[in-house]
Amino acid sequence: MSIFNFLAGEFIDVIHWVDPTRDTMVWRFEREGHAIKYGAKLTVREGQAAVFVHEGQLADVFTPGLYMLETNNMPVMTTLQHWDHGFRSPFKSEIYFVSTRRFTDLKWGTKNPVILRDPEFGPVRLRAFGTYSIRVTDAARFLVEIVGTDGEFTMDEISYQIRNIIVQEFSRAVASAGIPVLDMAANTADLGKLIAAEIAPTLAGYGLGMPELYIENISLPPAVEKALDKRTSMGLAGDLGQYTQYSAAEAMTTAAATPQSGMGAGIGAGMGMAMGAQMSQNSGPWGARPGPATAPSSMPPPPPPVEHVWHIAEQGQTHGPFSKADMGRMVSEGRLSRQTHVWTPGQDGWLRAEAVTELAQLFTVMPPPPPEAD
């Protein structure tokens, strides 16, 4: 190689970075001996920042654009000033490229349930998960506080720390917000903004910002969800009588679809009989369900009165039995008087007819004897 080509190599230097990984946050431009040549061109693309470190100290931060690195505007001693060192500068300079774009679709979630006091259910445990995005807002601070001298820093190296910060703020936010568990689904957007705002000061100390935080789901323990589902089912059932008929019909349909299953057929038949008995009780005389005007009362009707039958004792002989109507007809015909002895089942011995309240009424309906003629 000629001396001219060698000198041209020393004069021409292009410094730039194209990220093929999509998860690298910081990348250090590698040069042998970390020597930056005089007149080097630095290209910083959109979504990037370049941090210049000279002799171990942060010298400057370059925003997107094209820059010429010269001694009159940079504190750099180039190899051209040190022929005696064989174009090897004793001054060490480094350039770190920092990605300032958004890193999206990052996951977070509660490792353990969060315990809080719900106004309706009392103490409950919640789990939650979602996504967030992150970006570098202060390249110099991020390099000093987080990256250090790491030549290639990826998102995975800080994502665990950020997830811990999110979970801590989520636990504190939901515990102090006082939002009922059943209303949290309608307030996830507000909760996400609240948590992002609480996290912002901590992330700012790292040189980071969180443009978005989403809560995708908030869930209860399986046992609580099962009880909640049962409560919801009871609310949807409405009329328990109709729900019972519907369940019986569903069981019969399932049993009919699997006739080879003896247990299923037996269960379906039993429920069908129960449903039939219930329908017959709720049906009218023509097999139709009575309308509101003829709906049976919740109290059963009283039993019909028991009609007594009577026996008569005359001249040492008994006659009968006679109904009350027969006894009334005999009174009107004069065949039964007040002194006639009568007996009915359940009565203690023979009594005169006038001593029995039910028969004494028969004599009062008869007209009194006519008055004597003048």
The pLDDT tens digits for 153-194 are: 999 999 999 999 999 988 888 888 778 888 888 888 888 898
DSSP annotation of 77 reads -
Two structure tokens written together for 303: 């039993």
Q: Class of the 310-364 domain?
A: alpha beta
The phi-psi region of residue 104 (left if phi > 0; otherwise alpha if psi is between -120 and 50; otherwise beta) is beta
Query: Binning pLDDT at 50, 70 and 90, where does residue 267 land?
Result: low
Position 96, amino acid: Y
- Topology, domain 103-220: Tetrahydropterin Synthase; Chain A (3.30.479)
Q: What is the pLDDT of residue 352?
A: 86
pTM equals 0.55
Q: For residue 361, what is the enclosing H or E element?
A: helix 357-364
Beta strands 93-99 and 48-54, pairing class: antiparallel
Residue 10 has pLDDT above 60, yes or no: no
Residue 31 DSSP SS3: coil
Cα 125 from Cα 275, distance rounded (Å): 42
H, E, C per residue of 98-140:
EECCCEEEEEEECCCCEEEEECCCEEEEEEEEEEEEEEECCHH
Residue 313 DSSP SS3: strand
Q: Average pLDDT, whole number, for the chain?
A: 76
The pLDDT tens digits for 63-121 are: 999 988 765 555 433 333 443 333 344 456 789 999 999 999 999 998 888 888 888 77
Distances (CA, A) of 283 to 117, 131, 291: 50, 59, 10
Cα 100 from Cα 61, distance rounded (Å): 13
Residue carrying structure tokens 């038949």: 269
Beta strands 93-99 and 24-28, pairing class: antiparallel
Two structure tokens written together for 319: 């006659």
